[in-house]
Structure 1
Amino acid sequence: MVGNLPAESTSFIGRSAELTSLDGLLERHRLVTVTGPGGVGKSRLALRAARRIEHRYPDGVWWVELSPLRDRTLLAATVADAFGVTDQSLRTACEALCSWLTDKRPLLVLDTCEHLISACGHLIGELLQTSPGLTVLATSRQRLGRPQERVFPLEPLPVSGEALALFKERATEAVPHLSFDDPARAAAAADVCRRLDGIPLAVELAGARLRLWSVEQLAVRLGSRFDVLADTRVAALPRHQTMRTAIGWSHELCEPLERLLWARLSVFAGDFDLTAAQDIGAGGPLPACGVEQVLAALIDKSVVRTRLAGSGRFGHRMLDTIREYGLRWLDELGESQEVADRHAHRFRAIAHEADAAWLGPAQLDWYVRLEAEHADLRTALEHLLATDPEAALDMAGALWFVWVCCGRLREGRAYLQRALDGCPGPGPHRAAAVWALGVCALLQGDLVMAQRLGEECSRAATAPEQRLRGAYLYGASVLMPGDPGRALAILDPALAQDTGFSAGRILCTLARIYALSNLGRYTEAAAEAVQLRDQCAARGERWMRAYADYVLAVSALALDRPAEAAAHARAMLAGKRLLHDSFGIAIGLDLLACAVTSQGAGEDGAMLLGVGQECWRTVGKAQMGAPELTALRERCERRARAALGDDAYDSAFDRGVAAGVDGGLTVALKGGLPAGS
């Protein structure tokens, strides 16, 4: 099925009536919000409900986890990321989403909206108004307040039924041979569930305690804790108070070092591994060598959960209510600023480590890692923008490849502009940030700004690499609107310097090769592209290499070698698919369509143009307004229509649209060169 629903990490108990009711609501209404206190199981219910009905949505079910997001201005971009809409135009993220969803019929699940109520309500309103096939399922501690919203209040589990079943299952997970046949033990288990109001998370936390106590001991200890609170606070605890009390009780029963690590790890917005836990959690009475043992104890107590985080990586994470308690405790300890600083500077160091390794064999590994840790990169940048503007400027500039190569142009441009506004004067990190901002503007099609910043970078450059980067930005900004001769005049003097294999040199070389191709000097362009491709291949670099393959395909096509052009285009697409470079995939599909059409396969060419159109829709502006890209696609369409006739062309094109980008790419790559060749 199409979509991105996460795997369920634990078994699902009960809720059959709720699932049936929720299913019916989603069939009749376009916006349904599951509400309830923290820990009541809203996310689990939404996930199970979405999985049960995903067959009803031909364009997939898409899950967006909002708990790590704190900047409301990034909400639309976060939702777009989930859909794979990496729009690189100057439109807002909301406009891009509305445009892409216009003719789609998906289910969008927005999980944990309570801290972004206003922003979620506004975005959902825009999407529902412009996208008639869209249905939205949200989870929140309070309603979103939209006129078309149907609220589904989620109650705790019945204490003598499903809550007790959940407790018994979690208890036997903790103590495998535990039996509840004994009447006293069964009664104690029922008392635990009653004390906890049937709130699933509270029940699970209690069940994890059975590694230390018997069920009877647990009931006595829990009962005395709640009785004290009942005497000193309220006679009948509301359910949100029950949850806080259950977490507080679990916290009190932790060892002092466990509480300390719980608090410190709560600074993570997303998943973390052992190394990250050691970097952030160690200090004072907790040495780095002791973190692994303490973390294992928190996992045993269900405070920290382990899950498959993607690409075979396992990560640790806290549920929102657990993290919130930890953050409050961190503040009580007086460590909030210190731990947030440590977290931010850790990810600043990671940004520099990744920058240094980006052009090497670990490029794909870094791409996967930084995608997984993107929520924490955002958290770190936000903290530095507020507390250390110079460090924020340094980090934002070091992440240029995330913004430029990983489809986050709009987000990168916003962070870079904020960082530069926070450091308006000269400084050691300004040049890198200005250049990165200019490249973001260039690839968004803002050529006036890109040219201005390219000139600024060129004037201010004091080192060879800076001169190369400045020349690339300036030269590309005049090349894209159609002046390859002037571009060469800018690029060639910079390339006369010997700087070795660097980002500036590769980018300048690529721009020069494109300029040669645009001037019709295809033999020269191909020769230089082969050299660049081989240099990249020798170092295990994929992103730049794929663009060298693209120029080789363009040159082969122009020199009437369409089979060779198709092979190079497929090699390019294989590399770009690994790095999810939507722009590269879009231009590669157009080029491959031209190559196969030139071989007489007009039907395949028309189908590929349809797939390409779907990809361009995720990128934003078709062909980015570049004259040579537009001319290539139009030439291909004319040839395919002439070969097939309009009706057959339209039918094949529509099949490509229906196949979508992933399905169409699979077809496109058949018979192509393998990604590692």
Structure 2
Amino acid sequence: MGRVARPGRRPSPVPDPDSPLGRFAQGLRELRDQAGDPSYEALARETEQLGSPYSATSLRNAASGRTRPSWDVTEMFVRACVAFARKHPRRADSAAGEWKTDDLLAIWTARWQAISLSGEPAAAQPGARSPDRFAAGAPGRLPATLTRFVGREAELATGLRLLSESRLVTLTGIGGVGKTRLALHLAEAVAVRFPGGVHLVELAELTEPTMVDRAVATALGVQTEAERTPLEAMAEALRGRRTLLVLDNCEHLLEATAALTRALLHAVPQLRVLATSRQPLNEAGEQVLAVDPLPLPHRDGSAEQCCSAAVELFVDRAKAAVPDFRLTDANREAVVRVCRMLEGLPLALELAARRLRLLTVQELAERLDQRFALLGAAGADRTAPPRHRTLRAVFDWSHELCSAEERAAWERLSVCAGTVSLADAEALCADQRPAAQPALEAIAGLVDKSLLTRIEVRGRTRLRMLETVRMYGREHLAASGRDEQARRRHLEHYLGLARRAEDEYASPRQCRRLLRLREEHANLRQAFRYALADEQPSPLLFEGARALWLYWIACGNVGEGVHWMRRLSERFPEPPRPDLTTAWCWAMWAAAFALLLQGDHGGCAAFLDRVESVASRAGDGGAEWAGLQAAVHQQRGLSALFRGDTERAERHSHEALRFGGHRPGLLTTQQALAQIGLSAAVRGAGEEAVHFIRRAIELSEECGETWHRSYLLWTLAIAYTEEGRAREAVPLLRQSLDFKMQLGDLLGMATVSETLAWVLAQSGDPHTAALLLGAAHTTWRPAGAPQLWGFSHLVRYRDRGVQQIRRMLGEASFEKSYRAGERLGLDQALSQALGKRFPG
């Protein structure tokens, strides 16, 4: 509920709100505000009642941001806020009702220690104490940190909560992601909860499972005796003491570590264990916190968007390596590029920062394609464990922990790009040997070892591999001599996926297939790369190119489709073998279609001429060639229609209908009918136009596809608006947009929105019409296609509408609404428009 502002003096602003001390002070102010905005005098009274009185001035100074307060003042500030919130629940935020004093103190302990390590000036407080409960030199004392801890606010908050709820918490993640550093920071933050001490056990250098028990006993300061096992001695020493045991780097001794952890937790009820490992211990009651790489800056790379934890870490470590280093306008883009190429992996960022002693940031970014050599021994931290001294050592360690099947899966999946569906990963990793381990188990092992990350998309599992992990896998794949086989398997799988999708374009499964292809965009692109580089071209290269004719439109990326079609035609200007002639002709038809959608009518015609020339030399191929001729005529008709030549458009479209052998997935018949209908509409034959378009809609409904039907409904709406029947056009436009939204067809949504804007203007809402026009304009720009596909009649129709809307609104008002649409984006603009009442 809202609070009435409390009268009194306005607080002075924090001098440097972006500094560690400034953020600390801002946090205290926010805590006080959440507690109900008590005066500092009221907080002082609370501290008195809590038994540790502090003056209002001391508490105000704690949140001033000018000096670092003592721990005593910080602790009482937090306790006083909690006490006030409990006494005045109606004034406090709802979140304050869930406050737990111990959890809050743990969080503020970590924050106080962070500013202590940052070297901020401290306020003079007689007898002030630190929250650190460790005695110097005591067994288990955590090592002092030498560099600043960056980011991880979300992981710290989650870790603190898990440690309060569970007796076993394991931090998992890929090597070099910062598990150890996070664990130490968490341990420091919760130290006040464990009067029995926090004890760190470093397991990385142990080589035998039998060494785990004695290493833990040594860290605890427990003397083992001949008549007692180390477990018995540890259990007796820990019994009755609230203790935290930090087990660092368990992955290579997983079974022994898990067995000891299980035994100690059963024997010592007050013990808690915080472990770090590249995979979970898989013990009962274990809570797993996955540690991901640091967040990356936003895509636009502007100064405001560069403030990410990855950039902050890189810049901090760069300053340590080169003291005069600063993030500037001149180097910002290169810094962001380095952070993105290294995917926010902390160890890689730290190693890269050391290279700035020799290279500029730009030179560093240019060399990161060879990152394992670049981030090698020359830039290593000699004080680091051997497994963390170079980037390669990190992954060598992970590779050694993998089974033979897991290593093979790692290599085979390294040829992929982007994310991979679980089903596709299984297909790519499947081994035909009778005794082979199921691919699913190998993939699960890579997920457990943090080499693959599982994400969920629409209720299905997808797998993500960091590019650095991928590069390591590719090196091993190349060394094994199996890289060509893995690439061929990849291209056959994904281009085969495209071919199977085309088989269902003319079916109710069309939408699902198109959405599936969109998820595999990165791997379709990768498959084209592999196929174009293949010395012996696969028929699937040409069949996949043809099959993606609809995908390039529906995914809104015509420009990329043209790119791949041009590369294909340059690589194979003629059929490479006689047996590939038919497949080549169909691929060139798809190339012509992509060029047509980009507005290149000359290029489209040239490709179709090549197709007809090759087909005529090849002779009569029966129904397949008839279908190809029909498709060529349909596309020539569409090109003529876009240019405004209705006579030629109708002639070619009728020719397309005359031929038999139409491929169902090309939707040739209904497209040719729609072209005849649109041509009739352009020349003013309204009844004839509606007749042909309705025939096309009937065919679409019979086969159950939705993409073309959405355009046909829009086409019929245009025919109606041309005749002044806007009321009948509205439900057609709504239905068309419903289909477009199901498909995620942004260019289709933009196309229909142009007509909807005109209808809105005619029905008295020019403001929303201008909003939609602005939003549609921003959708066309990055697509690589001209607005309204360059359809001259519709472009003129739109221009007339824009001019009329300008006159209705006035120039200033039109520009305001148009620019608002550009900022809003098409989804939100349509949401606003469709929420309005339309005529009829």
- TM exceeds 0.5? yes
- Secondary structure of the 1:364 match is helix
1:353 aligns with 2:509: no
- Cα gap change, 1:189/1:311 in structure 2, threshold over 3 Å: closer, same or farther? same
CA-CA distance at 1:555 after TM superposition: 1.1
In the aligned structure 2, how far is the partner of 1:456 from the partner of 1:611?
A: 39
In the aligned structure 2, how far is the partner of 1:635 from the partner of 1:182?
A: 79
Describe the superposition over 1:401-423 as per-residue Cα deviations: whole angstroms up to 9, x where unpaired: 22233222222222222222222
Find 1:213's aligned residue among 252, 256, 259: 256
CA-CA distance at 1:185 after TM superposition: 8.7
What is the aligned partner in structure 1 of residue 368 from structure 2?
A: none
1:172 aligns with 2:334: no
- Cα gap change, 1:155/1:366 in structure 2, threshold over 3 Å: closer, same or farther? farther
Matches within 5 A, 1:95-244: 172-173=169-170, 186-189=199-202, 206=249, 211-214=254-257, 241-244=389-392
Matches within 5 A, 1:456-605: 456-458=610-612, 460=615, 462=621, 463-499=625-661, 501-503=664-666, 504-605=668-769
Find 1:659's aligned residue among 824, 828, 837: 824
* TM-score for the superposition, normalised by structure 2: 0.53
1:364 aligns with 2:528: no
Contact preservation (8 Å) 1:469, 1:505 = no
Kindly provide the amino acid, as one letter, of the partner of residue 566 in structure 1.
Answer: V
CA-CA distance at 1:527 after TM superposition: 2.1
- Cα gap change, 1:212/1:658 in structure 2, threshold over 3 Å: closer, same or farther? same
In the aligned structure 2, how far is the partner of 1:669 from the partner of 1:164?
A: 43
What is the aligned partner in structure 1 of residue 582 from structure 2?
A: 428
Describe the superposition over 1:190-233 as per-residue Cα deviations: whole angstroms up to 9, x where unpaired: 8779xxxxxxxxx99945567533189999x99xxxxxx99xx9
What is the aligned partner in structure 1 of residue 795 from structure 2?
A: 630
- Cα gap change, 1:329/1:241 in structure 2, threshold over 3 Å: closer, same or farther? farther
Matches within 5 A, 1:257-272: 257-272=405-420
In the aligned structure 1, how far is the partner of 2:824 from the partner of 2:154?
A: 43
Max radius of gyration: which structure? 2
Structure with the bigger RCO (C-alpha within 8 Å, sep 6+) is 1
CA-CA distance at 1:382 after TM superposition: 0.8
In the aligned structure 2, how far is the partner of 1:413 from the partner of 1:625?
A: 16
* TM-score for the superposition, normalised by structure 1: 0.65
Find 2:551's aligned residue among 378, 402, 413: 402
- Secondary structure of the 1:172 match is strand
User: How many residue pairs end up in the alignment?
Assistant: 505
Identity across the alignment (%): 27
Contact preservation (8 Å) 1:185, 1:215 = no
CA-CA distance at 1:189 after TM superposition: 4.0
- Cα gap change, 1:513/1:241 in structure 2, threshold over 3 Å: closer, same or farther? farther
In the aligned structure 2, how far is the partner of 1:243 from the partner of 1:165?
A: 29
Kindly provide the amino acid, as one letter, of the partner of residue 186 in structure 1.
Answer: H
Contact preservation (8 Å) 1:204, 1:302 = no
CA-CA distance at 1:589 after TM superposition: 1.6
Contact preservation (8 Å) 2:770, 2:818 = yes
Kindly provide the amino acid, as one letter, of the partner of residue 360 in structure 1.
Answer: S
What is the aligned partner in structure 1 of residue 466 from structure 2?
A: 319
- Cα gap change, 1:441/1:235 in structure 2, threshold over 3 Å: closer, same or farther? closer
Contact preservation (8 Å) 1:526, 1:551 = no
- Secondary structure of the 2:462 match is strand
CA-CA distance at 1:247 after TM superposition: 2.5
- Secondary structure of the 1:407 match is coil
The gaps in structure 1 that reach 5 residues or longer are: 1-16, 25-153, 194-202, 223-228
1:417 aligns with 2:566: yes
CA-CA distance at 1:241 after TM superposition: 3.8
In the aligned structure 2, how far is the partner of 1:174 from the partner of 1:611?
A: 45
The gaps in structure 2 that reach 5 residues or longer are: 1-15, 24-145, 173-182, 188-193, 207-245, 262-274, 279-375, 576-580
- Cα gap change, 1:217/1:537 in structure 2, threshold over 3 Å: closer, same or farther? same
Contact preservation (8 Å) 2:788, 2:795 = yes
In the aligned structure 2, how far is the partner of 1:627 from the partner of 1:302?
A: 54
CA-CA distance at 1:353 after TM superposition: 0.7
- Secondary structure of the 1:389 match is coil
CA-CA distance at 1:390 after TM superposition: 4.4
Kindly provide the amino acid, as one letter, of the partner of residue 715 in structure 2.
Answer: V
Describe the superposition over 1:418-447 as per-residue Cα deviations: whole angstroms up to 9, x where unpaired: 222222333232111111111111111111
Give the alignment's Cα RMSD to 1 decimal: 4.3
Find 1:373's aligned residue among 506, 512, 520: 520
